[in-house]
C-alpha cells in the first residue's frame, strides 16, 4: 500500500501524507521514481537526477555545512531548554494528580503541555537556572 489516510491531526489545519518509500505499486511512475530516490539515492529520471545534483552540491558546499552545524547546535540548545521548562512543569504538578500522569504521557502533545503550563503557572520562556 502506498497511501493510507490514518486520520492523524497535528492541530495546524494541514493535511499530512505519509508515503512508503518501499512501495512497489508505483514503480515506473514519477512518484515511484522519487520514492526510489528517497530510499536508495539512485537517480532514475531527469527530476531525481536534478535532486541528486543538488544534494551533491549541498554536501560539498562549506556554507551549507556551517549552516547545518549552526542549526544543529541551536536545535540541541532548544531541546535542552525545553527539557528544563518541562522539568519545572513536572515539579509544579502534584505527583498524585491526573495532570502529572497526563504530562508524562502527553509530552509530545503541544496543546496539552501548553494548557498545563498555563494551569500551573509555569513560564514557557527561558529562565536561566544554572
Residue spans per domain, the chain: 1-60, 78-119
How distant, in Å, are the alpha carbons of 48, 108, 120, 129 from that of 116? 45, 13, 6, 21
| CB contact at 8 A, 116 and 93 | yes
pLDDT at position 23 is 79
One DSSP character per residue, 19-56 reads --TT-STTTTSHHHHHHHHHHH----SHHHHHHHHHHH
pLDDT at position 3 is 58
Residue with cell 518509500: 21
pLDDT at position 95 is 94
Query: What's the predicted TM-score (pTM) here?
Result: 0.51
pLDDT at position 44 is 92
Closest C-alpha among 122, 119, 112, 129 to residue 88 = 122
Q: What is the mean pLDDT of each run of 10 residues along the chain (130 residues)?
A: 64 76 83 90 94 91 89 94 93 94 89 92 69
Is residue 103 within a helix (H) or strand (E), and if so which, with residue range? helix 98-105
pLDDT at position 128 is 56
Amino acid at each position: 500500500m502506498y497511501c493510507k489516510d490514518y486520520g492523524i491531526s497535528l492541530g495546524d489545519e494541514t493535511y499530512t501524507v505519509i508515503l512508503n518509500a518501499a512501495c512497489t505499486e508505483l514503480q515506473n511512475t514519477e512518484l515511484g521514481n522519487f520514492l526510489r530516490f528517497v530510499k536508495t539515492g539512485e537517480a532514475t529520471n531527469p527530476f531525481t537526477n536534478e535532486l541528486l545534483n543538488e544534494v551533491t552540491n549541498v554536501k560539498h558546499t562549506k556554507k551549507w555545512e556551517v549552516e547545518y552545524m549552526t542549526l544543529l547546535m541551536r536545535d540541541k540548545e532548544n531541546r535542552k531548554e525545553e527539557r528544563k521548562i518541562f522539568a519545572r512543569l513536572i515539579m509544579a504538578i502534584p505527583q498524585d494528580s491526573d495532570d502529572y500522569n497526563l504530562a508524562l504521557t502527553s509530552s509530545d502533545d503541544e496543546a496539552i503541555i501548553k494548557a498545563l503550563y498555563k494551569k500551573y503557572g509555569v513560564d514557557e520562556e527561558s529562565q536561566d537556572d544554572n
